[in-house]
Chains A and B, each alone.
Chain A
Amino acid sequence: VNHSDIQNRMADYLEGDLSLRKRALFDAHLDTCPDCSSELGEMRRTIALLRRLPTPQAPADLADNVMRRIAEGEGQPGWIDHIERRFGEFRALVLAPGLVLPATAVAAGLTLVLLTADGGGSLPGFRAETPTVRVAATRRPTQAAVQRSPGQQMRGVPAASGRTWEASLAQDNSGRGHLRLGLRGSRLANDGVRPPAAPPRSAGQHRLALAGTAIGGSAKSQSVRSRDEWLDVLIRRPQAFAREHSELSSVEQELWITHLSRRAVELERLEEAVTALRATGDPFAIVLAKSFAAAAQHP
């Protein structure tokens, strides 16, 4: 038994998870090694401190508040939950990277949905940046690796590759939608896409986004502008932008913030945008300003 053994085994020793024989060896080392033995003592005292932290008490009205908010309509299942409830977990196939999978389309025809980005396939209010996006939603299980942040991972993917992607849709607890992608039939690194065979035609242009509207909800008619045009609206007419934004679903709102704040950072216009929103004094716009600043900090 030497120092590194001790280091590796310290946690097990502390938990009493070592076999008797190993424990005896460990003890023997401790007897002769003041360093290890004082380290052990420090670890023990650290754990003791943790376990003796005072216990905070929950506010007496916590459950009442929760039940009141539920009665008022909060905490109800969202669109993905509805789909899951009805169909179980579902998967989508995305052919060629590009924008979008509207939840309404997925819900409408789970077995097969094909659409193009310059049709209804873009984020509401965004003009499609990708010529063709074909999406097929199926219930097939997928063995493809899962990616954490599709927006980032999609960078560096050939713009017009004809490869087949596997994707799963998920909505996180905040109602944000996530589309997880993997190359079909290929082994992927845990967290990334295999490097593309050919360099991307226009790197960074093709972003993946997921737009969601509540099932049964009607799509609002909205002026169609490109991302940069929306950014212009934001900076020149922040109040109008905030009003438009406030009418989106929460998933879309999040996506807009992510989408536009990244672009603003690229163009070095983030500060301008945040300042413009703040200057309105409009509460919606000020919340938005905060979200933009936060999104830029945690891309």
Chain B
Amino acid sequence: VLVEGTELDDPDRELVASWQAGDGRAFELLVRRHEQRVFRLLMRMLGSREEAQDVAQETFLRLHRYGHRFRSEARFSTFVYRVAINAALNRRRTLVRARDRIAKLQLRQAAGDYLPQTPRDPEDAAIGAETSASVREALDRLSPSLRFAVVLYDIEGLTYGEIARVLGIREGTVKSRIHRARQALRNELRTLVGRPREGASS
């Protein structure tokens, strides 16, 4: 496998090589290594646990199918994200009534699809259920391209360059989309972020 540039440190390189050489067990390990990330991303994009679960499976099936296309010019995880996003996009396209779906999705969220996070840092404690529901709703109202950019950056922690690769757009576009997404979110969440509150970050 040809590895070049900054991607020498891809932690998946060996597993991918074994898998491409025909080792099915290596693929299973890759699935286990990436399942949380893929699922998390899809939850953010699709909103419902049920759908995220379906599309996550679909993502890995596609990954299995398209594995030969991965050429190590990017990190494998970037490739995985790309496949996941395509799968999510595709799912969205085939949905008949988006509004019904969003309504259903909010019901499911209210019913507790999200599990509480274990905070890594006490300062960084997860926000309350009500607040996070508002944030998720605001995210869901963003146009897909804005949502993807901001989810990948602020939630998944990818770099501009990685997002550019995942979404197939230029880095400059990534940056401006993130900014526009944040602005839109800020407008949506005015009641939450509009006034500095006690203990709010500054």
Contact = CB atoms under 8 A, between A and B. Distances in A.
B31 A173 contact: no
Interface in B127-165: 127, 131-132, 135-136, 139, 150, 154-155
Given A11-B175, A75-B62, A173-B62, A53 B132 contact: yes
B185 A50 contact: yes
Contacts of A43: 182-183, 186
B65 A77 contact: yes
A44 B44 CA distance: 20
Contacts of A77: 65-66, 68
Given A56-B115, A297-B96, A51 B154 contact: yes
B40 A62 contact: no
A77 B139 CA distance: 34
B43 interface: yes
9 contacts: A41-B196, A42-B190, A58-B53, A63-B35, A75-B62, A75-B63, A81-B66, A85-B68, A294-B94
A88 to B, nearest CB: 11
B49 to A, nearest CB: 7
B57 A78 contact: no
B192 interface: yes
A69 B69 CA distance: 21
Interface in B76-131: 83, 86-87, 90, 93-96, 113-117, 124-127, 131
A63 B28 contact: yes
Contacts of A74: 61
A174 B186 CA distance: 35
Determine the interface band of chain A, counting residues with CB < 8 A from chain B: 35 or more
Interface string B39-58: 11001100001001100110
B200 A45 contact: yes
A57 interface: yes
B5 interface: no
B94 to A, nearest CB: 6
Contact of B86 (A11, A56, A58, A173): A173
B114 A46 contact: no
Contacts of A50: 135, 139, 150, 154-155, 182, 185
A142 to B, nearest CB: 18
A216 interface: no
A265 to B, nearest CB: 15
